Amino acid sequence: MVRPSGAAPLTVLFLVVLIDMIGFTLVIPFLTYFVQDLATGDGFSDIGARDRWVGIVLASYTLGQFLFTPLLGSLSDRFGRRPVLMFGLASNTVFLIAFGLASTLWMALIARFLAGAGNGNIAVTKAYVGDISDREQLPGRMGMIGAAFGLGFMIGPFLGGVLTDPAEVFGGPFATDWWVAHPYFLPCLFAGTLSFASLILASRMLPESLPESERKVQAESDGLRRVLSSLIGVRDLSPAVGRLILVNASFLLAITMMHATLILFTAMPVDNGGLGFDEMRNGYIFAVVGLIGVIVQGWLIRPLSKRYDSRALMVAGIIMAAIGLGWIPYITTETQAVGVFVIVLISAGHGLFGPTQSTLLASAAEIHGIELGRAMGAQEGFGALSRIVGPVFAAFIWAETVDGTGLWTYHTVFRVAGLIAIMSVLIQLGIKNSSTDSEAASDD
């Protein structure tokens, strides 16, 4: 078997990741409203009990990915990348549409969990790129995958906001009782259709990248066990690598807490202290988040990294995000311009953090003689746990404080998220400078 080469497979992979991210992020602007409607319909009339389900449904997707992506990765090692990618796209198509048709909380929860469980496309796509790239080509091609990731995060929320409630927004053929009863179906149908088109495109234009001679004879059934082993094995890594992994986990915990509760705040009636935003305006917010991320990681991070130390940039990113997170509940309808600045502060901080933290982790792993794959595996495992725990933790804090007074109000969850982000700064204080580490390693 000849390995595929040329631009065609990379273009298809770019589209696969782009559509993957559009489908994942497209639900962000309306998921809160959708789950609130379903919870109310299922008898959860109390605001706290109703909103708690928002975090649970958000976390279910990541839980599915956490449990099943290692298995899908192992299957791709045995049967090839192409069939697993096909399966992921088919799963996306079915469960995006199923989510839009959910009429109960349990249907929505199961649809999101199965969507995450069946979709290991990001990990398998990276493996595909590794199959067809040499060492010199790999950074640029991985950067292309990262660009698709950022672009999808920008486009998805915008489309999700615009396409929600077509009976009210567009009228015409959508002005029917069925569309009135299913205001969240059109964005899910659109994302599912994109995923199906990507499936057709990939089936026709994407060759297999892994020769049969290099496939594993027996699929490893311990994919999840390896992930759990990576989590436990972090104690065996160097202190610097371990601290950087915990820095990443705590920062992601803070960010995912914001993802779960930001729209709970912006959608809250103005009389109760919120902003009274609808799905479309929330879509614009997350589109701005994606745009700032693309600008920072696509254009600014390279010149900034040449001028400033990576650790300083990472800490600056954490502090910017922490300030923005704590500032969120103080935004009012009269200070929406300040609100735009806060969102830019958070997204720019996040954009600074990601690449600089990864650079520091790679450098620390090399200095201390630790396999990069092992270090990255441990980081991905802890990061996944943060993305699971964050939405649920935030939703429970929100549920317990949204009707509170004094210190315990809807402000609380954002203050906690900001403090957890600051904790990331404290964790990294024990990491020595790279030069010191290098000298110590050479002395050994």
Same domain, 283 and 421: yes
pLDDT at 202 over 50: yes
Tell me the mean pLDDT in the region 98-105.
Answer: 94
Please name the amino acid found at residue 19. Answer: I
CATH number, domain containing residue 201: 1.20.1250.20
Q: What is the mean pLDDT of residues 42-68?
A: 87
Find the range with the poorest average confidence among 56-60, 133-137, 272-276: 133-137
237 in the same domain as 367: yes
Q: How far apart, in Å, are the Cα atoms of 181 and each of 102, 111, 175?
A: 11, 19, 11
Which of 184, 207, 230 terminates a domain? The answer is 207
Residue 230's pLDDT is 57
Instruction: In whole angstroms, give the CA distance from residue 435 to residue 387.
Output: 33
**Is pLDDT above 60 for 22?**
yes
Work out the pLDDT band at 241, boundaries 50, 70, 90: confident
Q: Are residues 335 and 372 in the same domain?
A: yes
Closest by CA to 106, choosing from 164, 41, 179, is 41
Q: Are residues 162 and 256 in the same domain?
A: no
Question: How many residues does this entry show for the chain?
Answer: 444
pLDDT > 60? residue 379: yes
Is-contact 260 395, C-beta < 8 A?
yes
For residue 231, what pLDDT is reported?
62
- Segment among 108-122, 323-337, 385-399, 423-437 with least mean pLDDT: 423-437
Is there a domain that residue 214 lies in?
no
105 CB-near residues (< 8 Å, 6+ apart): 35, 38, 39, 42, 53, 57
Are 341 and 195 members of one domain? no
Q: Summarize the confidence of residues 189-218 as an average pLDDT.
A: 80
Over the chain, what HEC string results? CCCCCCHHHHHHHHHHHHHHHHHHHCCHHHHHHHHHHHHHHCCCCCHHHHHHHHHHHHHHHHHHHHHHHHHHHHHHHHHCHHHHHHHHHHHHHHHHHHHHCCCCHHHHHHHHHHHHHHCCHHHHHHHHHHHHCCCCCHHHHHHHHHHHHHHHHHHHHHHHHHHCCHHHHCCHHHCCHHHHHCCCHHHHHHHHHHHHHHHHHHHHHCCCCCCHHHCCCCCCCCHHHHHHHHHHHHHHCCHHHHHHHHHHHHHHHHHHHHHHHHHHHHCCCHHHCCCCCCHHHHHHHHHHHHHHHHHHHHHHHHHHHHHCCHHHHHHHHHHHHHHHHHHHHHCCHHHHHHHHHHHHHHHHHHHHHHHHHHHHHHHHHHHCCCCHHHHHHHHHHHHHHHHHHHHHHHHHHHHHHCCCCCCCCCCHHHHHHHHHHHHHHHHHCCCCCHHHHHHHHHHC
Same domain for 338 and 230, yes or no, is yes
Higher-pLDDT residue of 91, 214: 91
Query: Per the domain annotation, does 217 fall within a domain?
Result: no
More confident residue, 133 or 352: 352
Q: State which of 207, 237, 257 marks the end of a domain.
A: 207
Mean pLDDT of 170-198: 92
Give me the chain's average pLDDT, please.
83
Mean pLDDT in residue range 207-212:
74
Between CA 350 and CA 343 the distance in angstroms is 11
Q: pTM of the entire structure? A: 0.82
On whether both 235 and 201 belong to a single domain, the answer is no
Residue 60 lies in a domain: yes
Domain holding 89, by residue range, is 1-207
Query: Band of the pLDDT at 76, cuts 50, 70, 90?
Result: confident
Q: Which residues of 406-442 are buried (b: 16+ CB within 10 A; e: fewer)?
A: eeeebbbbbbbbbebbbbbbebbeebeebeebeeeee
Tokens 């699929």 belong to which residue? 219
Mean pLDDT of all residues in 284-298 = 85
Residue 200 shares a structural domain with residue 250: no
The domain boundary, picked from 183, 207, 231, lies at: 207
What's the half-sphere exposure (Cβ side, CA atoms, 13 Å) at 213? 3
* 1: in domain: yes
45, part of any domain:
yes
The pLDDT score that the predictor gives to residue 205 is 82
Region 373-389: mean pLDDT is 80
pLDDT band at 12 (very low <50, low <70, confident <90, very high): confident
Q: Which of 8-12, 133-137, 309-313, 349-353 has the lowest mean pLDDT?
A: 133-137
Cβ–Cβ under 8 Å, residues 274 and 263: no
- Provide the pLDDT confidence category of residue 207 given band limits of 50, 70 and 90: confident
Q: 184 and 250 in one domain?
A: no
Residues 6+ apart with CB under 8 A from 113: 60, 61, 63, 64
Q: Which residue type does 200 have?
A: I
- Return the pLDDT at 434: 43
> Residue 441: its pLDDT value, please?
36
User: Sign (positive/negative) of CA torsion 86, 88, 89, 95?
Assistant: positive
Residue 213 placed within a domain: no
Taking the alpha carbons of 427, 432, 433, 437 in that order, is the dihedral positive or negative? negative
pLDDT in tens, 243-284: 899 999 999 999 999 988 999 999 999 988 899 998 889 888
Output the pLDDT for position 344.
92
Same domain, 188 and 245: no
Query: Same domain for 156 and 278?
Result: no
CA end-to-end span of the chain: 46
- pLDDT tens digit string along 220-229? 445 556 666 6
Q: Are residues 50 and 73 in the same domain?
A: yes
Is residue 215, in this structure, part of any structural domain at all? no
Contacts of 24 (CB under 8 A, 6+ apart): 61, 152, 156
How many domains does the structure of the chain reveal?
A: 2
271 part of a folded domain: yes
